[in-house]
Amino acid sequence: MKLKTTLMATGATLIAAAALAQTNMADSMTVVSWGGAYQNSQVKAYIEPYVANNPGLNVITDESSADAVTKLRAMSEAGNITWDIVDVVAADGLRLCDEGLAMEIDPDTMLADAPDGTPASEDFGNTLVGDCFIPQIVFSTTFGYRTDLLSEAPTTVCDVFDTEKFPGKRSLEKRPIGNLEWALICDGVGIDDVYETLETQEGVDRALAKLDTIKDDVIWWSAGAETPQLLADGEVVMGSTYNGRLFSAIVEQNQPIGMLWDWQMFDLDGWIIPAGLPEDRLARVLDFVKFATDTQRLADQAAYISYGPARASSAPLVGKHAELGVEMAPHMPTDPANAVNTFLFNFEWWASYRDDLDAQFQAWLLQ
Amino acid sequence: MSDATLEGPVLSADGKPLKQSLNQALRKQKIRALVLIAPLLVFVLVTFVAPIGSMLMRSVQNTAGTDYIPDLMPNVVAAIQAWDPSTGEAPPEEVYRAMAIDMASAFENKTHTQLGRRFNYEAPGISSLFRKSGRPASGWDIETDGPFKEKFLDIDSGWGNVEYWAAIKANSGYYTSSYFLAAFDAQRGVDGISMKEPDQRIYQKLMLRTLGLSLLITFCTLALGYPVAWLLADLPLRTSNLLLILVLLPFWTSLLVRTSAWKILLQEQGVINNFWIALGFTERLSLINNQLGVIIAMTHILLPFMILPLYSVMKTIPPSYLRAAKSLGASNWTAFWRVYFPQTTAGIGAGALLVFILAVGYFITPELVGGADGTFISNRIYFQFAVSGNWGLAAALGTLMLVVILILYYVYDKLVGVDNVKLG
Amino acid sequence: MASKLPPYATTGQRIWFYSFRVLCGLVFFYLIFPILIIIPLSFNAENFFTFTPAMLRLDPEGYSLKHYEDFLGANGDYSWLQAFTNSLIIAPLATLLAVSLGTLAAIGLTQPHVPFRKQITALLISPMIVPLIITSAGMFFFYSRPFGISELGIQGTYAGVVLAHAALGIPFVIITVTATLSSFDTSLTRAAANMGADPLTTFFRVQMPLILPGVISGGLFAFITSFDEVVVVLLVGSAGQKTLPWQMFIGLREQISPTILAVATILVVISIALLTTVELLRRRSERLRGMSPG
């Protein structure tokens, strides 16, 4: 948490309480996200400016987004929601919405219009999925590789499955999402048939059999920052993660890492507000989310990490990196040079099949 | 002594019979002891025992979210009892109709995906059926829109799967044995309970791995700890007290600090591997994210728990015994094996049991240095609890582990006595 | 084996004597090396986890305090300091609770006639034995809604974490205090009572000073238990009670930031301080009871 206010919070509580009494907003807010470089970009672009406008507010950060669905289920069952706003991928947003764990939103009243007056619903366009999800970014899950430890650079995602040509460990996410799709693509299934194939048991077995061929060479990650760390330490020669994490390793930390954009998997990430928050906390969160998802703030975030803003109106405002001054556009997953082969991750499909495939994938992992 | 006291009971100073008075004093003492213990006892019962007890109950409660299955789908539960899965036929229309009613109200209460998740533990694949069917079912009119069998089959042909319906029928009560079956790698199919395919028996494998690695780690701590404890017991007190600090410092150092130290030492570009390369070797060693890493780190972390009880036993063995054996003509080995070693078995038992008990429950170290094949049953429980959210299975696995631990604890109490645990 | 090699030792005995010492030396090295190696690495001027050439040359340029400055928030990130503060709030409160209840109970347990003494002791020591993952999973749900009453919920509060940590620290207090009490001469309390002291006076003026070293040792054990604990706080606490171990665990699982080394060094120093205190207390009480030459 990059906030001096946290430290001053105890002292400032009295003053803050007095100031907030009129607006009736909570003076503390717990923001849950994914940790690492991504959470830093949110702190810089959203939270620090917001706290500057709202002195005395104590923002607590948590890094539990990867397990957000389960944790919210547990909190809801226990009747004690300690989170105020949670950053999740679209598929998790849909699941939480279905289960009544996330609050339904109305984009046009709760979110800011674009500067030219375009209503939020139009500005966000088709990134608004489900009734609860407040989109922030378009990101992709893709591969990075060590430029100095491999004799040649991998060119297709299927090189990940080629341990003879590219010996060494690789890191993959410890869940079926993405891995099963890539396995099928590299096993010869056509792009458009991937999800249809995965609906059958034979298709799942086929994908797992393909993953079996590299299972002994895989280190499984569960947090987005692990692959950049494993790459930097030379523990793996290639690994999947979110593209922005690789960007910070390559551009900010000058690590000898290259991007493999082939069949990168596009996905959306955004906020949900847990259902059933007390009035004062809800007022605080709604105020924050309106601020944090306006056109300028979404563009600001892209100055810290290479994710595309979810608003159409933010795109023209994306420029250079806030500290390093490098042009951000070539690092975006949507840049034409990077987006030759892209795979549209089907979060609707995953929301339906996640439980089934998770169980099978985890059992396979332990075999 | 007068005659009177010989005939009647012995009296104390206040004239009451001595026996009664002693009993009273004893009762008073007992009560005073209990009064002193009571606050802590209540505290431990409320903050520690009750939470564990209530968690273990989850291993048999048949719930989805906060509610029991029969409360969430009363119509299906009532209708499905008459259906016999062993006929191989899908259930009759009444069951589908009941499902249409329950599905609509579940969708209304946003519990339909929770129900799907619950049955998905028993029949993988069923979760997506519930998710897909909630919205359509909420729009049906129960009186006029039948038959519902076709309507469900239109949404997904999976609704015709006998296995799915059998899973619903088998888990339609308030309590279920299915979590324990899963924890034992068994399953309930259309034709009764059977073990899963050998390559699907993951919990058996994990349980054995946990016990096997813990045993190996216990053995390693004994092999390394025994000579050290012996040396400490044999050296003059001043020297041994100094050396004892080398044992106690790791004992007092944060588990996370020690685990992170091992992570830094063992990784491929870490201190040990760099030293290894500097020695002229070309292959880097794979020391972390595998079982080897867990063994190295956990042996280090648990070693003090072996050395301290061994040391406290060895300290009490007079060195003259060994000298006597040798002067009677015993070889060094015979003197050690026949005279010294038998006297240390109590220490070995105490140390080994304590290390083993602690190792079986380890979570943090395997999580951070274990990789895929070095994880313990605790890691799986954490996964089921915090990541996958299958609390029933987590509770069932936790119950099994707790039973193992309590048996070991009982043995420890019989052999060593819980009041004899030594802490430095 | 003998502590000194006799002058008449044979060559074989000599080889055995020295190889045994070398073996023990290696085990001591294994015990202590991983802890000590962290300390120089924490002064690394780079963000690496291994010795840089500059460090090996003992070049002052290779060393810096930057990881310590980061811990204190020099880079604008106060999360470590905040976590440290939380640990310093939680651990002493948990210790206080464990020590006060634990000492009373230990006195009760060492009375001459206690019904179910063995069973009660086994129960009170069990928090040390039951795997933390089981304890913390149970606590999560129970503390959220104790006995089904959500108004009593303490999950995600300081109170919840303090109670949970106190429960974990109790076995250590029981063990150390009963050990001290078992060597306590009970005729002293009787003597005090004979001279007209009421039970409270007896306790504070006679018994307490003598068992104090045991109580303090137990307290330090309870303190370090809470101060190091991560599994329970991850489940019973919420982000608002993020402690130092929590922050370290997240750092270790994701990105090993070199700040962890600085934190680890600080924790090692704290451990050394606590260990020294306990050792001094132990020796003092042994000396008082004439058990050890000192």
CATH number for position A20: 3.40.190.10
- Chains touching B (at least 3 CB pairs under 8 A) are A, C
Q: What is the DSSP string of B319-384?
A: THHHHHHHHTT--HHHIIIIIIHHHHHHHHHHHHHHHHHHHHT--HHHHHH-TTTT--HHHHHHII
User: A82: which chain C residues are within 8 Å (Cβ-Cβ)?
Assistant: 155-156, 238-240
Rounded-to-integer distance, Cα B353 and Cα B376, Å: 18
CB contact under 8 A, A352 and B134: no
Domain endpoint, select from A317, A339, A354: A317
Residue A31 CA to residue A35 CA, distance in Å, equals 11
Interface of B with A (CB under 8 A): 65-66, 109-114, 116-117, 120-121, 124-128, 131-132, 134, 199-200, 202, 205-206, 267-269, 289, 371-372, 380, 383, 386-389, 391
Q: Is C78 within 8 Å of A63 when comparing Cβ atoms?
A: no
| CB pair distance less than 8 Å for C126 and B236 | no
Q: CB–CB of B224 and C115 under 8 A?
A: no
Distance of CA B62 to the CA centre of its chain: 21
Whether pLDDT at C84 is above 90: yes
Residue A316: pLDDT over 80: yes
Contact C228 B50 (CB under 8 A): no
Same domain, A95 and A156: no
For the cut 90, the answer to whether the pLDDT of residue C111 exceeds it is no
User: Residue C288 — pLDDT band, cuts 50, 70, 90?
Assistant: low
Give the mean pLDDT of A102-122: 93
Question: With an 8 Å Cβ cutoff, is A78 touching chain C?
Answer: yes
Nearest CA in chain C to B35: C108
The answer to whether C82 contacts A6, with C-beta atoms less than 8 Å apart, is yes
Amino acid at A65: S
Q: What is the mean pLDDT of chain A?
A: 88
Q: Inform me whether the pLDDT recorded for C196 exceeds 50.
A: yes
The predicted structure's pLDDT at residue C188: 80
A 80-99 residues with CB below 8 A of C?
80, 82-83
Whether C81 and A32 lie within 8 Å, measured CB to CB: no
Last residue of a domain, one of A282, A298, A317: A317
pLDDT tens digits, C227-268: 999 999 998 998 889 999 999 888 887 666 778 889 999 999
B120:A355 CB<8 A: yes
Q: Which of B202, B207, B208, B385 to mutate to test the interface with A (most CBs of A within 10 A)?
A: B202
Whether B256 sits inside 8 A of C105 (CB atoms) is no
CB contact under 8 A, A356 and B134: no
| Same domain assignment for residues A93 and A236 | no
Domain borders along chain B are 3-57, 67-200, 202-420
**If you average pLDDT over residues C49-75, what whole number do you get?**
82
Across the interface, of C108, C112, C279, the residue whose CB is closest to B37 is C108
pLDDT confidence bin for A13, thresholds 50/70/90 = very low
Residue B204 contacts residue B224 (beta carbons within 8 Å): no
The per-residue pLDDT for range B150-165, each reduced to its tens digit, is 999 999 999 999 999 9
| Same domain? A255 vs A303 | no
What are the tens digits of pLDDT across the range B46-72?
A: 999 999 999 899 999 999 888 899 999
Peptide bond into A309 cis (omega under 30): no
B117, B265, B288, best to mutate vs chain A, most A CBs in 10 Å: B117
Angle separating helix axes B291-314 and B202-234, nearest 10 degrees: 40
Is there a contact between A30 and C145 if contact means CB atoms under 8 Å apart? no
Using an 8 Å CB-CB cutoff, list chain B residues near A363.
Answer: 200, 202
Residues A211 and A359 in one domain: yes
The Cα of A171 is separated from the nearest Cα of chain B by a number of Å equal to 11
Q: Hey, is the C-beta of A73 within 8 angstroms of any chain B C-beta? A: yes
- CB contact residues (below 8 A), chain A span 16-45, against chain C: 28, 30, 32, 35-36
Checking if the pLDDT of B414 tops 90, the result is: no
Q: Find the mean pLDDT for residues B84-92.
A: 90
A219: chain C residues, CB-CB within 8 Å: none
Q: Is A276 on the interface with B (CB under 8 A)?
A: no
pLDDT band at C2 (very low <50, low <70, confident <90, very high): low
Q: Is A1 on the interface with C (CB under 8 A)?
A: yes
Same domain, A24 and A128: yes
What residues make up the domain containing A76? 4-138+269-317
How many structural domains compose chain A? 2
CA distance, residue C177 to nearest chain A CA (Å): 37
CATH architecture of structural domain B202-420: Orthogonal Bundle (1.10)
The single-letter DSSP state of residue B47 is: I
Distance of CA B65 to the CA centre of its chain: 24
Contacts of B304 in chain C (CB under 8 A): 31
Work out the number of other CB atoms within 10 angstroms of the CB of residue A219.
20
Please tell me whether residues A148 and A212 are part of one structural domain: yes
C145-163: pLDDT as tens digits: 888 887 888 888 999 999 9
Residue C14 CA: distances (Å) to CA of B149, B239, C4, C169: 88, 21, 11, 47
Q: With contacts defined as CB-CB under 8 Å, which chain A residues touch B372?
A: 218-220, 365
A170-214: pLDDT as tens digits: 999 988 999 999 999 999 999 999 999 998 889 999 999 999 999
The predicted structure's pLDDT at residue B1 = 46
What does the pLDDT read at residue B299? 96
- The 10s digit of each residue's pLDDT in A220-269 is 998 888 898 888 878 899 999 999 989 988 988 888 999 999 999 999 99
The confidence score (pLDDT) of residue A10 equals 44
| Residue with the larger pLDDT of the pair C52 and B231 | B231
Query: Over the stretch B358-394, which tens digit does the pLDDT of each residue have?
Result: 999 999 999 888 887 888 999 999 988 888 888 999 9
C32: confidence class by pLDDT, cuts 50, 70, 90: very high
Q: Do B381 and C137 touch (CB under 8 A)?
A: yes
**Better-predicted residue by pLDDT, A49 or A330:** A49
* CA A118/CA B417 separation, integer angstroms: 75
Inter-chain contact A99–B113, Cβ cutoff 8 Å?
A: yes
**Residue A3, pLDDT score:** 43
Residue of B32, B235, B424 with shortest CB distance to C111: B32
pLDDT at A22 exceeding the cut of 70: no
Are residues A252 and A310 located together in one domain of the fold? Answer: no
DSSP C182-237: HTS-THHHHHHHHTT--HHHIIIIIIHHHHHHHHHHHHHHHHHHHHH--HHHHHHS
Model pLDDT, residue B83: 93
Half-sphere exposure of B266 (CA within 13 A, CB side): 23
Domains of chain C with bracketed CATH: 82-288 (1.10.3720.10)
| Min Cα separation B144/chain A (Å) | 27
The mean pLDDT of chain B is 89
SS3 string of chain A?
A: CCCHHHHHHHHHHHHHHHHHCCCCCCCEEEEECCCHHHHHHHHHHHHHHHHHHCCCCEEEEECCHHHHHHHHHHHHHHCCCCCCEEEEEHHHHHHHHHCCCECCCCHHHHCCCCCCCCCHHHHHHHHCCCCCCEEEEEEEEEEEEECCCCCCCCCCHHHHHCCCCCCCCEEEECCCCCHHHHHHHHCCCCHHHHHHHHCCHHHHHHHHHHHHCCHHHEEEECCCCHHHHHHHCCCCCEEEEEHHHHHHHHHHCCCCEEEEEEEEEEEEEEEECECCCCHHHHHHHHHHHHHHCCHHHHHHHCCCCCCEECCHHHHHHCCECCCCCCECHHHCCCCCCCCCCEEECCHHHHHHHHHHHHHHHHHHHHC
Q: Who among A1, A30, A229 is closest to C256 (CB)?
A: A229
Query: Which pLDDT belongs to residue A1?
Result: 42
Least confident among B18-22, B167-171, B180-184: B18-22
Residues 6 or more apart whose Cβ sits within 8 Å of residue B243: B231, B232, B235, C28
Q: Are residues A55 and A124 in the same domain?
A: yes
- Record: contact C112-B249, CB cut-off 8 A: no
pTM, entire model? 0.88
- Pair A11, A61 in one domain: yes
Cα distances (Å, whole numbers) of residue A165 to A159, A197, A214, C70 = 8, 28, 13, 42
- C-alpha distances out from residue A9 to A234, A288, B393, C82, C89, Å: 41, 18, 41, 11, 15
Please identify among residues 145-174 of chain C the ones whose CB lies closer than 8 Å to any CB of chain A: 145, 150, 153, 155-156
Contacts of B134 in chain A (CB under 8 A): 98
How large is the ipTM?
0.87
Of B40, B255, B256, the CB nearest to C104: B40
Question: To the nearest whole angstrom, how far is the Cα of C52 from the nearest Cα of chain B?
Answer: 10
Mutation pick from B61, B179, B243, B254 vs chain C, by most beta carbons of C within 10 Å, is B254
**Residue C294 pLDDT greater than 90, yes or no:** no
Question: Cβ contacts (< 8 Å) between C105 and chain B: which residues?
Answer: 36-37, 39-41
Structure tokens at C48: 């690496």
Would you call A7 and C78 a contact, using CB atoms and an 8 Å cutoff? yes
At B424, the pLDDT band (50, 70, 90 cuts) reads: low
Give me the residue from C105, C249, C271 closest to B249, CB to CB: C271
Domain match, A106 and A168 both: no
What is the chain C residue with the closest CA to B340?
A: C1
Residue of C nearest to B365 (CA): C249
Answer whether A158 touches B (CB < 8 Å).
no
Using a pLDDT cut of 70, give the percent of chain B over it: 97
Least CB–CB distance from B303: residue in C31, C111, C139: C31
- The confidence band for B422, taking pLDDT boundaries of 50, 70 and 90, is low
